[in-house]
Amino acid sequence: MQDIVNKLAFYFEYPFVKYAVIVGVLIALCSSLLGVTLVLKRYSFIGDGLSHVAFGAMAIGSVLHVTSNTLVTMPVTIIAAVLLLRNSNSAKIKGDAAIAMISVAALAIGYMLMNIFSTSANVSGDVCSTLFGSTSILTLKQSEVTICIVFSIIVIALFILFYNRIFAITFDENFAKATGMKTGFYNTLVAIIIAVIIVLGMNLVGSLLISALIIFPSLSAMRWMRSFKGVVILSACLSVICAFLGIIISILYSTPVGATIVSVDMIVYIFSYLVKRGE
Amino acid sequence: MAYITCKDLCVGYEGDAVAENINFELEAGDYLCVVGENGAGKSTLMKTLLHLTKPISGDILYSDNITPYEVGYLPQQTPVQMDFPASVEEIVLSGTLSRKKFKPFYSKEDKAVAKDNMKKMDIWDLRKSSFRFLSGGQKQRVLLARALSASEKLLVLDEPVSGLDPKVTTEFYQLIKQLNDDGLSIIMVSHDMHEGLENAKHILHIGREHIFWGTKDDYFKSEAAEAFLGISGE
């Protein structure tokens, strides 16, 4: 035990480890907030599709050598989110087919670009870290940490400000619309927030695992709590704790950060499922 | 003047008309039942009145006493709500959102309105309970309290008793009658030709062959009723 404490103390001397923990916890907090909405409005697919789009955008960003990949990925993913949402609401085009199409296309293009234009000697390593996060969180630049903190604060502020409306459109969109709420606006807002969360989350767990970060804490919390507020608060707490534990474990045992966090999330979900099976 | 006047209204989806030539007025304090065969366009008409679907042609006019969105709505239950984690209180409170322009949080007034309606619907003791664990009748009361929190003037109900057992159904109709007696206007789509129509003041019958709008007594003498009730063997 003493060994572990010493080892942690040693690592926390380094600023990049502190950054990693701060960023990790913030991202985990943001990503858990909209989980319930995503699950219950059947937007999980959109989240998954968007993360692939974000991967493609990131590849373009690294080819263009921009100072921060986020500057490219963020707008592209937000536009994709708005378009996908519009599609899924239209009866004429099959929403899920469109999402599947866009997401695999983005994956393929992203991988191809990285292969053709990459200046790095280790292309598969780059791809792997974009997909699974791997060590990228420990190599964050100061500027990326700042971007991450700013966007996290925006996401949290928007969520608190629109909390009651987000509840209303998630629970019963028709009622909200019939009583005069601008549901189109709020759906777009939710899509944009999801896009921002996905881009932020890619730094932590990579684009393939980000959906897990969004959905697992909410699904676990839904097993325990009776009210929407309770679910949101508990899923935020669970997500933060899991992310923190995951980062610590990955530092101590040199496991990949993203995969470790998602594994911890999954263990919590399985535990919740087994304990609260009857309900 | 009537709250709502519909003139030559034609409703449908994406340009395809489902029901045409709908003309009716809804007075303050009225109790209007909408009847007709399956697929005649009853639910489409409700969706149009609630601004969920655009009318294909014709007009819906509102008097000065009511705004187009001043309506409480009791929907047919959607699958999303089956496993939705929300307390009774949260759901009823969400009805008050339509009352104000934009404020991020609920005011004392909103909470008082929600509390009144929960007491009226006899679900105050359930306010901390989870919606998904309630019985069908209790769920309807919660959604009714939410609808009342959204409007004191007009309540729109779409097949409100489907899935309820007979005893709960009777209680539910009594509740609606009570609300109507207190001054609330009601528009209700109904399958149920007996109990459902008992308290109605006006009937709107829509269908391909017959269209009728008038008082309940006149309806039972009309061709529309004869044809409709003849078919359903009642």
Based on DSSP, count helices (H) and strands (E) in chain A, helices before strands.
14, 0
Residues in chain B with pLDDT values less than 70: 1, 77-82, 99-101, 230-234
- For chain A, the residue count is 279
For A6-58, how does the pLDDT look when each residue is reduced to its tens digit (9 = 90+)?
888 888 888 878 888 888 899 899 989 988 888 877 777 777 888 888 888 88
Residue A95 has what pLDDT? 61
- Note whether B73 contacts A174, CB cutoff 8 Å: yes
- When pLDDT is cut at 50, 70 and 90, the band that residue A89 belongs to is low
Rounded CA separation B169/B199 (Å):
13
- With 0-12 CB in 10 A as exposed, 13-18 as middle and 19+ as buried, what is B2? middle
Contacts of B151 in chain A (CB under 8 A): 179
Q: A64-72: long-range contacts at Cβ-Cβ below 8 A with a sequence spacing of 24 or more?
A: A67/A143, A68/A141, A68/A143, A68/A144, A68/A147, A70/A144, A70/A147, A70/A199
For A57-79, how does the pLDDT look when each residue is reduced to its tens digit (9 = 90+)?
888 887 777 766 777 888 888 99
- Note whether B85 contacts A176, CB cutoff 8 Å: no
Residue scoring higher pLDDT (A116 or B177): B177
Q: Are B11 and B22 in contact (CB under 8 A)?
A: yes
- Note whether B51 contacts A178, CB cutoff 8 Å: yes
Burial pattern B134-163, b for ≥16 Cβ within 10 A else e, equals bebbbbbbbbbbbbbbbbebbbbbbbbbee
Rounded CA separation B198/B173 (Å):
9
- Closest to A32 measured CA to CA, from A249, A248, A193: A193
A-B CB pairs within 8 A amount to 98
What is residue A84's three-state secondary structure? helix
Residue A161, pLDDT above cutoff 90 = yes
Average pLDDT over residues A219-244: 93
Contacts of B133 in chain A (CB under 8 A): 226, 279
Q: ∠ at Cα A272 (A275, A8), nearest 5°?
A: 125
Residue A136, pLDDT above cutoff 70 = no
- Note whether B97 contacts A36, CB cutoff 8 Å: no
**Contacts of B153 by beta carbon, 8 Å cutoff, 6+ apart:** B3, B28, B65, B66, B70, B71, B184, B185
- Note whether A178 contacts B78, CB cutoff 8 Å: no
Report the DSSP beta bridge partners of residue B205.
B35, B212
- Note whether A178 contacts B52, CB cutoff 8 Å: yes
- When pLDDT is cut at 50, 70 and 90, the band that residue A137 belongs to is low
- When pLDDT is cut at 50, 70 and 90, the band that residue A147 belongs to is confident
Residue A122, pLDDT above cutoff 80 = no
Q: Determine the residue of chain B that is closest to A37 in CA distance.
A: B84
Residue A123, pLDDT above cutoff 50 = yes
End-to-end alpha carbon distance in chain A? 38
Average pLDDT over residues A239-268: 90
Q: List chain A domain ranges.
A: 2-274
**Contacts of A161 by beta carbon, 8 Å cutoff, 6+ apart:** B104
Q: Are B58 and B226 in contact (CB under 8 A)?
A: no
Residue B234 has what pLDDT? 44
| Residue A196, token pair as written in the block | 């921002």
Would you tell me how many other CB atoms lie within 10 Å of the CB of residue A247? 24
Residue scoring higher pLDDT (A82 or A203): A82
Q: Is A278 on the interface with B (CB under 8 A)?
A: no
Which of A40, A91, A165 lies closest to B84 in CB terms?
A40
ipTM, two decimals, is 0.86
**Backbone phi and psi for residue B23, each to the nearest 5 degrees, phi listed first:** -130, 125
Rounded CA separation A172/B84 (Å):
10
Q: Determine the residue of chain A that is closest to B134 in CA distance.
A: A226
Residue scoring higher pLDDT (A140 or B38): B38
Q: Are B187 and B154 in contact (CB under 8 A)?
A: yes
Residue A154, pLDDT above cutoff 90 = yes
Distances (CA, A) of B72 to A74, A179, B47, B92, B200: 39, 7, 13, 12, 18
Task: Name the CA dihedral angle for A167, A171, A174, A175, rounded to a multiple of 10 degrees.
Answer: -70
- With 0-12 CB in 10 A as exposed, 13-18 as middle and 19+ as buried, what is B52? middle
| Helix A15-33 / helix A257-275 crossing angle, nearest 10 deg | 40
Architecture in CATH for domain A2-274:
Orthogonal Bundle (1.10)
**Contacts of A178 by beta carbon, 8 Å cutoff, 6+ apart:** B50, B51, B52, B69, B71, B73, B156
Residue B70 has what pLDDT? 83
Residue B77 has what pLDDT? 66
**Backbone phi and psi for residue B210, each to the nearest 5 degrees, phi listed first:** -120, 140
Element holding B128 (H helix, E strand): none
End-to-end alpha carbon distance in chain B? 36
Task: Name the CA dihedral angle for A227, A232, A236, A242, rounded to a multiple of 10 degrees.
Answer: 60
Rounded CA separation B130/B42 (Å):
32
**Contacts of A254 by beta carbon, 8 Å cutoff, 6+ apart:** none
- Note whether B94 contacts A160, CB cutoff 8 Å: no
Q: Determine the residue of chain A that is closest to B157 in CA distance.
A: A175
Q: Are B189 and B172 in contact (CB under 8 A)?
A: no
